[in-house]
Amino acid sequence: MRGAIRTAVGFAATGLLVLAMSNPAAAVTMENDTAKRDTSSVPTEFCVGSGNIAATGCFKPYGDVVFASDHSPDGHSVYTLWQNQLRDSTGTWGLYRNGKCSYSGGSFSMGSCNKDMYEHSSKNAWGGKGSKVRVKACVADFGDDTCGSWSSWIYND
């Protein structure tokens, strides 16, 4: 009886391992970037604020640029979290990349992280067509950080 149980457990573990390896999103690691000071104007679309509006996070689809903007002289740095999903050949969306664009250049200034992402209309690494991004602005407070809500998904064209 014990041999049969061990065999069943072994088959179940092997099945879970194969399932995890077949899911491309299972191995996504966070990309951590330090934003470079950016003196261009803050994008006016695809932006969200932190919970206390001391920071803004934006995404510019043309050029694949993530922005982190600091609006408060509180001495805290800011960052923008981002997620990039792709659609596979069956039409299913899944997390492909995610990251953090951190900026510590001071209040009332902005930094940017230039990312290279698949275009929504191009064939991607998963064999489908479709790429979308969303962002979330955060302030690196002492203790728990203050973050706003995720933006809506932005098709990356």
Write out pLDDT tens, residues 57-92.
999 999 999 999 999 999 999 999 999 999 999 999
Q: How far apart are CA 76 and CA 152, in angstroms?
A: 26
| pLDDT given for residue 27 in this prediction | 64
Amino acid, res. 36: K
Q: How far apart are CA 38 and CA 27, in angstroms?
A: 32
Enter the pTM of the model: 0.81
Instruction: Report the helix count and the strand count for the chain, using DSSP H and E.
Output: 1, 11
| pLDDT given for residue 127 in this prediction | 97
Average pLDDT, the chain: 85
| pLDDT given for residue 92 in this prediction | 98
| pLDDT given for residue 151 in this prediction | 95
Regions in the chain scoring below 50 on pLDDT: 1-23, 25
Q: Which of 135, 71, 147, 56 has its CA nearest to residue 106?
A: 71
143 in helix, strand or coil?
Answer: coil
